[in-house]
Amino acid sequence: MAPVIKLNSGYDMPQVGFGLWKVDNAVCADVVYKAIKAGYRLFDGACDYGNEVECGKGVARAIQEGLVKREELFIVSKLWNTFHDGDRVEPIVRKQLADWGLDYFDLYLIHFPVALEYVDPSVRYPPGWHYDGKSEIRPSKATIQETWTAMESLVDKGLSKSIGISNFQGQLIYDMLRYARIRPATLQIEHHPYLVQEELIKLAKREGIAVTAYSSFGPASFLEFNMKHATAMTPLIEDEKIKAIAAKYNRPPSEILLRWATQRGLAIIPKTTREEIMKSNLRSVEFDLSQEDIDAISAFDRGIRFNQPSNYFETDQLWIFG
């Protein structure tokens, strides 16, 4: 049986899922279909990934062919920053559901704790970070409380079974727990041996919030953005210490990195377009690392975060996130 994590909302979430960031539109429907065939049931999408229509087509084909039923899938999507104003949340979720061809999401997350001015989907979709589509950053006045209250009404209306957050840090989580009528079911964070996030994971565990790890292979996801601290580092799957641990278990280094995360209790959502890699990533829960090896991998921690908004902008625009 594929392992699941029990959420505070009462639902079971598969511990191993499939990420949809940077899956090209041209191949996306096929990739999703093949991933379902390979055994994936959780798909991690977002407005910002710009491929929700194609993801929906892959799901529809798999359902049509009888590979899965809708209720066996766990579809995750995310609220983009430009839709944080309370009255913008429900309309955009309805659009995203229509794009997927679904009646409900299993989990819907606030993608970043960053509120930007509304951009109408008829002007540009997905809107991205910049108001003008080029360089201008325009904040919105929406607080997280305003946005979370609107997220809670999605559960009331049956548009999402569970709701959660992504890229939130400890203080903000404590703040929202003071007013949340529905607690976040999950927290999705960057997590790899260079960013172990020990304290944040402890906090989430204490508060009954499940944690999903993204970018499990560290710098690998960020090389294409030419981020200097990503290109300057040894790729984790080529690191000699990781390779030595992998050899002990007769597993590829990628499975070692994924197992390190799942044995810490986290869910994972790696992405690949190659079927043999899809299967390998799923198989990563089929063996156990020793505590000694888990500790050796955790000792890689350097507190290096690649996916922070300021890494994508010119320095004179950093004020908004400071």
Annotated binding site for substrate: 111
Q: From the CB of 66, what's the least distance to ligand NAD, in Å?
A: 26
CA distances from 130 to 116, 138, 238, 308 (A): 9, 7, 36, 15
Q: From the CB of 89, what's the least distance to ligand NAD, in Å?
A: 17
Residues 26-45 that bind ligand NAD (CB under 6 A): 44
Catalytic residue (one of 49, 108, 131, 194): 49
Q: Is 73 in the site for ligand NAD (CB under 6 A)?
A: no
Give the number of residues in contact with ligand NAD, rule: CB under 6 A.
25
Per the annotation, the verdict on 49 as an active-site residue is yes
Taking CB under 6 A as the rule, which mask of x and - marks residues 201-230 in contact with ligand NAD?
A: -------------xxxx--xx---------
Q: Which residue is nearest to ligand NAD (CB)?
A: 19
State the Cα–Cα distance between residues 248 and 290, nearest whole angstrom: 11
Among 27, 68, 237, 320, which residue sits at the site for ligand NAD (rule: CB under 6 A)? 237
> What count of residues does the chain have?
322
Sequence-separated contacts (24+) of 283-286 with Cβ below 8 Å: 283/255, 284/16, 284/251, 284/254, 284/255, 284/258, 284/259, 285/2, 285/3, 285/15, 285/16, 285/258, 285/259
Dmax (CA) for the chain in angstroms is 54
Residues 141-170 that bind ligand NAD (CB under 6 A): 166-167
State the Cα–Cα distance between residues 262 and 284, nearest whole angstrom: 9
Active site residues: 49
| Residues found near ligand NAD in the complex (CB under 6 A) | 19-22, 44, 111, 166-167, 188, 214-217, 220-221, 237, 254, 269-272, 277, 280-281, 307
